[in-house]
Amino acid sequence: MDNRNAKAWLYLLPALLFLGVFMIYPLVDVVVYSLEENYNSVQAFYTGVGLENFSHVLRDPYFLQAVKNTFILVVITVPVSTGLALLISLGLSSIQPLRRLYQTVYFLPYVTNTLAVGLVFMLLFQYNDSQVGLFNLLIRLFGGSPVDFIDGPYWAKMTVMCLYTVWVVMPFKILILTSALASVPQSYYNAAKVDGTSKGRIFARITLPMISPMIFYLIITGFIGAFKAYSDEVALFGVNLNEAGMNTIVGYVYDMLYSNGGSYPSYASAAALILFAIVLTITVINLMVSKKTVHY
């Protein structure tokens, strides 16, 4: 038996080694970092232990701006993308010809480099001396006055950030919802048809309850994903997100870790832990709500 034990651990050894060094140790270390006050990465010393880093981060206007941006992004994009994905998936599952083609097209954003496509969005939404982006052409066409969505007012930047985020997250949601819709047993629909049930009623009484676990799954992963937004913003507004006023919480963490101003791992750790606490809280709330409303 001991021999067998040893063999199993041998098979697990590489994974355990890597997870230990790059995941479990850092998990402990991030808490340690966050409690070390005035930590200096060059000399590796600190002046005390306490919550000073957290209160520093929570008072930092850049962090507060990042929290605000992230929350707006989450509150807008999660419902919009989930709702839109539901509509599109319902449309997809009601047609036969061309369905595969549509599915392929809809999935494309998932396999693209968001940094790369973000540059195209930047071109489409910009408005400056050298070029009028296509979107502004549309605005002009409808008689509005053009706005620079990349380097203009806050609401304009927020708009393009939300639009791009929705564009990026749609493939995953459509994919999950179409397969959820396909798994609703046809016999339920047939029974409803025999009874002469209206389409709206069928949707509310059969479809929606049957796919509600998947909708909740998407809402939870959507919240988590949107709270971690970062690289899409870099693609649109450039590396210096603080200057653009469009930083996110994750962006703040990385800026604290590594920027021209130096490295502040303690502040980065505190901010990362705050983010983790927010995400955890919202996930738990989501799970509690879903327990009450989701039909399995």
Partner 1 sequence: MEQSPLKSGALHRARAGRIITYVLLTLWALIVLFPFYWMILSSVKSTAAYNAELTPSFFTLRPTMENYLAAFSSEDTPLGSYLLNTLLYTVLTTALMMLIIIPAAFAFARLKFRGKNLLFTLFLSLMMIPSELVIITNFATVATLHLNDGPAGSAVRLFLGLILPSATSVFYIYLLKENFEGIPEELYKAAKVDGTSDLKYLLKVMLPISRPTVVTIVILKVIECWNAYVWPRLITVHEKNFLVSNGIQAIRESGSGRANVPAMMAAVVVVSVPLIVLFLVFRDKIMAGVSRGGTKG
Q: How far is the CB of 190 from partner 1 (least distance, A)?
A: 17
Least distance from partner 1 to the Cβ atom of residue 110, Å: 7
Q: Counting contacts by CB under 8 A, is residue 287 touching partner 1? A: no
Alpha helices in 94-153 (DSSP H): 99-107, 114-125, 134-141
Q: Give min distance, CB of 243 to partner 1, in A.
A: 12
Using CB under 8 A as the binding rule, whether residue 228 contacts partner 1 is answered as yes
In the numeric block, which tokens belong to residue 156?
Answer: 């304009």
Q: What character string, x for contact with partner 1 (CB under 8 A) and - otherwise, covers 74-113?
A: -------x-----xx--xx-xx--x---xxxxxxxxxxxx
Nearest distance in Å: CB 156, partner 1? 19
Alpha carbon distance 257, 245 (integer Å): 19
Tell me the C-alpha distance between 39 and 44, whole Å: 7
Q: H helices within the chain, ranges in order? A: 2-19, 25-35, 52-59, 61-93, 99-107, 114-125, 134-141, 154-182, 186-194, 199-202, 208-227, 231-237, 241-244, 249-257, 265-293
Which amino acid appears at position 3 of this protein? N
By CB under 8 A, tell whether 238 contacts partner 1: yes
Q: Which residues contact 226 (CB under 8 A, 6 or more apart)?
A: 70, 73, 74, 77, 78, 165, 169
22 makes contact with partner 1 (CB under 8 A): yes
Counting contacts by CB under 8 A, is residue 144 touching partner 1?
no
Q: What's the angle, vertex CA 89, arms to CA 88 and CA 93, rounded to 5? A: 120
Candidates 15-23, 51-59, 150-158, 286-294; binding stretch for partner 1 (CB under 8 A): 15-23
Question: Any contact of residue 62 with partner 1 (CB under 8 A)?
Answer: no
Contact between 154 and partner 1 (CB under 8 A)?
no
Binding-site member from 167, 192, 209, 290 for partner 1 (CB under 8 A): 167
Binding residues for partner 1 restricted to 171-190, rule: CB under 8 A: 171-173, 175-176, 179
Residues in contact with partner 1, counted by CB under 8 A, come to a total of 94
